[in-house]
Amino acid sequence: MAFELPKLNYAYDALEPTIDARTMEIHHTKHHQAYVDNLNNAIAGTELEGKSLEEIQKTGSDKPAVRNNGGGHYNHSLFWELLTPGGSKEPVGNVKSEIEKIGGFEKFKEDFSNAAKTRFGSGWAWLVKNADGSLIVSSTPNQDNPLMPVADVKGTPILGLDVWEHAYYLNYQNRRPDYVSAFFDVINWDKVEELYNK
């Protein structure tokens, strides 16, 4: 069974003004679709065919087509679920408690924003759950993610922000910091908590 582009739980214009409808549509139907198609092509007839998307990340394939497109499909599938119209404003439950332990919500916002703003070129900022349940902020280049053996900080990603220019350029052009600060208006913290508790 080949991988498929997941449907979104909201309309393309639902996240405006934070993320505009045209960016969402192109990002989902063109960029994400391309990662899905290229991943399917890259694993067809190999030992990775039939493995779960998560397993493929953890395998740490050194094939660029698998690493880049497998990461692309995983990261974007996660990203869409982490967004919600209106956002839920603040962390809840266990994530709220764990964020308190790393300096509180304001400190977290500062650290996460810095990770997103200082990632040179294309990549992602992450909030990662360590094996002991603690949280740490990190970033990765390109379509890498914390599940991959190559990641500097390895663990379970529970929040991620796409800082590739394709994620914000139509609306924000070179103003990545404005996109990063607006992202906090559309985070689905209930989903973050669900991922933490998995």
| 95, 162, 183, 188: residue in contact with Mn ion (rule CB under 5 A) | 162
Considering the rule CB under 5 A, would residue 164 count as an interface residue with Mn ion?
A: yes
Q: Which is nearer to Mn ion, 162 or 193 (CB)?
A: 162
Paired tokens of 160: 């991620």
In order of 40, 42, 56, the CA distances from 47 in angstroms are 12, 11, 10
CA torsion sign for 108, 85, 157, 93 is positive
CA dihedral angle for residue 68, residue 72, residue 73, residue 79, rounded to 10 degrees: 160
**108 vs 124, which CB is nearer to Mn ion?**
124
Phi, psi of 79, deg, nearest 5: -55, -45
From 88-96, 116-124, 125-133, 156-164, give the range in contact with Mn ion by CB under 5 A.
Answer: 156-164
In the complex with Mn ion, the residue whose CB is nearer, 91 or 119, is: 119
73 is in an annotated binding site: no
State in angstroms the smallest separation of the CB of 164 from Mn ion. 5
Asked if residue 166 belongs to a known ligand binding site, the reply is: yes
The residues binding Mn ion (CB under 5 A) are 162, 164, 167
